[in-house]
Structure 1
Amino acid sequence: MMANMAKALNMALREEMERDPRVVILGEDVGKKGGVFLITEGLYEKFGPERVIDTPLNEGGIIGFALGMALAGLKPVAEIQFADFFWLGADELINHVAKIRYRSGGNFKAPLVVRMPYGAGVKSGLYHSQSPEAYLVHTPGLVVVAPSTPYNAKGLLKAAIRSDDPVVFLEPKALYRAPREEVPEEDYVVPLGKARIARGGDDVTLVTYGAMLPRCLEAAEKAKASVEVVDLQTLNPMDYETVIKSVSKTGRLVVVHDAPKTGGLGAEVAAIVAEKALHALTAPVVRVAGPDVPQAPVAHDDVYVPTVERILRAIDKVMAYS
């Protein structure tokens, strides 16, 4: 069926709850309201309050409850209304969820998913538009995922729910109701830890994920050079092999993300390429990212994130280097 990302995520949740009675959903307003972005719409009516649980406004409690449920044998999917709020549950997520398997010598595990709408682009303001992926990727023990299309959003979320590892599922809210695509109604998963080539090319590699994929594809279409676009999909563990293979072919790398530049995921991609494929580079790596300032207020939301024009300038820059 044709679906946008919001619908695809709802399909994934519904199918996994039908497939596995251990799957439960919890979070603020996820029940009768269906969540702030309506991702859980209709699930309360189908599965009832014992499996779709409205919680108090307490992110630490939500993640802590999810951990307890997971340790007891359930498969909880916790929703944090906006990724900006995960800090209120950071102790539970970083110090307990991420470490429980290591801390217990493998005796316990935390098979849970924490869904977080992230990023700018919908004019939701200073405290509802941040992209915290670099903080999360820096935490050993967490799998971090960022889908970019309805098809891979459904497949990645289903894979995340079935995983025995804790998964932070970063949903680009700017793409929730972006153009639709065909999403199979039958069961399928998109493997965690694997990047994909979203567009083939020979001259420049563009590495991106989540909300920036459509802009990178548009820039690649408009560029004078032949541009290959790599969609990371899973940010941790990152599929470095696909990135290295692409850069080894093109010799040029541009990394695009909407989080601030300093310490962002682009720096990690650049470092890995420098370590493993420096001989292949014919130009310095260029990062196109958000500025090193707090998230822009609503009136300037559109200029905070990388634009197609900025990406095109980066492509021209690496092509012009000699």
Structure 2
Amino acid sequence: MRQIVAITLFYFAATLGVSAADNNDVQQGIFDSYLKLANEGDVVAQYVVAQRYETGKGTGKDMEKAYYWYEMAAKQNYPLALVKLEARDKAAAKVEPPAAAAVSAPAPTPPPVAVKKEPAKKPPAPVPSQPKPKPAKAPEVTAVAVTADVSPPKPAKPAARKEEPKQEARAPVPEIVVAKAAPVVEAPKPDINVTQALLAGKWKRNQEEAEYLPSANVACLQSSNTEITCFSGELTRNVDNAGLTYNVKSVISGFNNKEAKFNLRYVYNVVHVAGKPHAAPNGMSSEINDMAVKTGWQEPGVAMECRLRDEHSLSCTRNDRRMTYQFVRE
């Protein structure tokens, strides 16, 4: 680290008083500092070196070397490098011509099948008519007079009628209505899958890309069920009339889906300090000057407690209560 600081101070001193035309020398110095760290195994520096080889910033463009360093960073599971390699593989897959579809020869037409005609049915032979049978004569019946003693039937006695007892009319029992108390409706508690909501989009604050949440400048990797690790790309910010070049590492943990809360801690890694402000810094502006004008990891970092209002907005409050930040995602 002392060697890095010495190299950085050397370039800082060399750039004092130089004109804007010497900016290439400054960028070359920054690139050399990153390259030294990359060869020592620093994963952030490996990604930055690859990015600079790709853009030609501080060195000549060389895509072969760029993807070499992307692959070195990807071996250490650096999220931005994994995204780069995935995009390269998808682009290569689109360029490859599709395999020619095998054209099968048309199947030969089967010969026509001869259809056998059924023989014509002969009409049924006529049935010879038979003589109709003559109706048989009914036998003659001789009437015989039978005298019988027939007496008239006796009249039936009327059945005695039984009187049913009279029922007394009873007054209806009044219905008693018991008033029921209205049910108490409790306000629904938020129940959000915090991990899924965080990784589902790109978060911004005041239209600026977030530095320690998933965004266009930050890639995050879920290292376990209880932790997400994020790394930013190369960012720039102006502090005390000095131009800082830095990266951000953040760790998200303590997920609470029922209360939609989580904890976040981030730390800056300043790799270069320029003697004059950057013309167009791309880092997130801060109302609190929490970055020192010096190189290296600026421990212990900043701890915050965050809460999702819904799946598209959240707020983070610093543990020192100095500021609360509001974020939204696309």
TM normalised by structure 1 equals 0.23
TM normalised by structure 2 equals 0.23
| Structure number, greater radius of gyration | 2
| Higher RCO structure, 1 or 2 (CA under 8 Å, sep 6+) | 1
